[in-house]
Chain A
């Protein structure tokens, strides 16, 4: 088919309706513009944030707490430590749950059964539920179980629920990419389905799972909306030190500073953005390294 196609188009190229016609060229230019717009925006965003942040890219960002009275020395110390606490707690909750659910759905659930299909559709929907709704869920949950809203654990629950569908979906994709022959080979030797998952499928899928999980966690790291529902957590002047400690995170802190009228707050917000983007870049870089180095091509 390919060769026939090439043979047939070659003589036509010179004609009016070939790939060199004005309409074709215009079309290609339009596509280029569309793509360049995205790339250009990214560059402008990074450059302007960096320019705004320049006066405040110093050690104080990491050592000082936020301050309402002296914005020029405000720092993101509590927010950075809070972000780390929340993200670790989120990972501890969401990763095992997500992988376990994905294993059931991909390896054991009979797709012909209505309840499994319902779980499937439900999952796709959950992945697209607005982030802020997860905050409302967590607020309601915290009220029910008597948990104080503004603590690390509450924030981690909100973010874990938010990224759970993402982890499940990417883990399933990673499991699906392990060839059926591997599973069959294991089962044919008398291994149980769970042994097969644990000793063959899961180990082979780990690079894909790790990549997807890191990307999901980086989404949680940058997300502020669900945490807004958990109470006023902005001017925290201590290091969050446990699951039941009050906290703030980098995105929340940025949101608050960005909304303040003083220029100094805008600057420190920009500096915090650079710190946040740096963290995210680190995580994304790690995900890409894992994907490129360990992902097996079957």
Chain B
């Protein structure tokens, strides 16, 4: 051993070679094979790849029955047909537009509720609320976000429709309507809009606010003219994500919107959404391989494609916002 080799050892009194048999103090080559680490690393990578596998699995599990479905029903009839009665023996019709109008109405009503209330809450929390108030209100939003959708559905069915819509507002709606489902759906997605928008506005640097105020703008002008535009892509992302959740939500619409699939012309009408149809059909009898089973997956595929497109837009918007700050 050269003198160089035991270079640092005397500092703590024990010779370097004590580190273990065969330890070469200057070689930089791997001293032990560390097989265990490679195994663990393999497990970690496999776990990460599982998420890709899940996506592949979703696509396959939807696509295969859907392909069988489209062997029997034409694409044009499915996408543009206006009558949906897959179980009306003898007169089956597979036009998905009624389900789409149902989804469109509930989603639209939900956004009409969630955007103003969610953004209002977000602006207050981000720009106005003292930290003490924020500490109380943010958990309230978290609790609201944590309430199961089946509970919201029950709320729509037993309170919003009979008490609010009928008794309080005197509207002529029945137990089931896209209005009551959409209203409650909107309440459910308020936390999504509020908390993501608040994050976006809080991320706007204070320098911008101070700059605006230094020019003489008051708080409201600063919020609306400076903070809001600066955070706009983050806010848009929150709304788009909320839209995706509204389209994909099942339990509320299954309970409150109704089970008749017809073209929905107005908010007080009964309607069935895509998710509502899947829930209703799934709880009944459906045997794999039959047309009625495949119908389920054709609608599921459409739902997946729609939400996928919406999600991608939201992911893009978030990335744009992150790049800005």
**A interface residues (Cβ-Cβ under 8 A, vs B):** 1-2, 4-5, 8-9, 12, 17-19, 21, 23-24, 27-28, 30-35, 37-39, 41-42, 44-45, 48-49, 52, 96-98, 100-101, 103-105, 108-109, 118-119, 121-126, 128-137, 139-141, 143, 161, 164-165, 168, 192, 194, 215, 218-219, 221-225, 228-229, 232, 251, 254-255, 258-259, 266, 269-270, 273, 276-277, 280, 284, 288
Quote the shortest CB–CB distance from B307 to chain A (angstroms).
6
Tell yes or no: B67 within 8 A of A by CB. Answer: no
Inter-subunit contact A45/B155 (CB<8 Å): yes
Give the CA-CA distance A161 to B41 in the complex, in Å. 22
Inter-subunit contact B315/A132 (CB<8 Å): no
Please indicate the chain A residues that have their CB under 8 angstroms from the CB of B121 in the complex: 31, 34-35, 38
Inter-subunit contact A133/B57 (CB<8 Å): no
Q: Known interface pairs A44-B159, A137-B61, A232-B283. Does A224 touch B150 (Cβ–Cβ under 8 Å)? A: yes
Inter-subunit contact B251/A34 (CB<8 Å): no
**B interface residues (Cβ-Cβ under 8 A, vs A):** 34, 37, 40-41, 43-52, 54-55, 57-58, 60-62, 64-65, 116-121, 123-125, 128, 137, 139-144, 146-155, 157-159, 187, 190-191, 194, 206-207, 209-211, 213-221, 241, 244-245, 247-251, 254-255, 275, 278-279, 282-285, 288, 296-297, 300, 303-304, 307-308, 310-312, 314-315, 318
B154: contacting residue among A17, A132, A273, CB under 8 A: A273
Please indicate the chain B residues that have their CB under 8 angstroms from the CB of A18 in the complex: 218
Closest to A222 in B: B148
Q: Known interface pairs A1-B207, A137-B58, A222-B148. Does A104 touch B158 (Cβ–Cβ under 8 Å)? A: no
Please indicate the chain B residues that have their CB under 8 angstroms from the CB of A49 in the complex: 151, 154-155
Q: Is the interface of B mostly helix, strand, loop or mixed?
A: helix
* 28 residue pairs from A and B, CB less than 8 Å apart: A1-B207, A5-B214, A17-B218, A28-B220, A31-B121, A38-B194, A39-B137, A39-B140, A42-B147, A44-B159, A45-B155, A45-B159, A100-B48, A101-B44, A129-B307, A133-B62, A133-B300, A140-B60, A143-B288, A164-B51, A164-B54, A222-B150, A224-B149, A224-B150, A225-B275, A258-B157, A277-B151, A284-B143
Closest to B37 in A: A194
A105: contacting residue among B48, B116, B152, B207, CB under 8 A: B48
Closest to B44 in A: A104
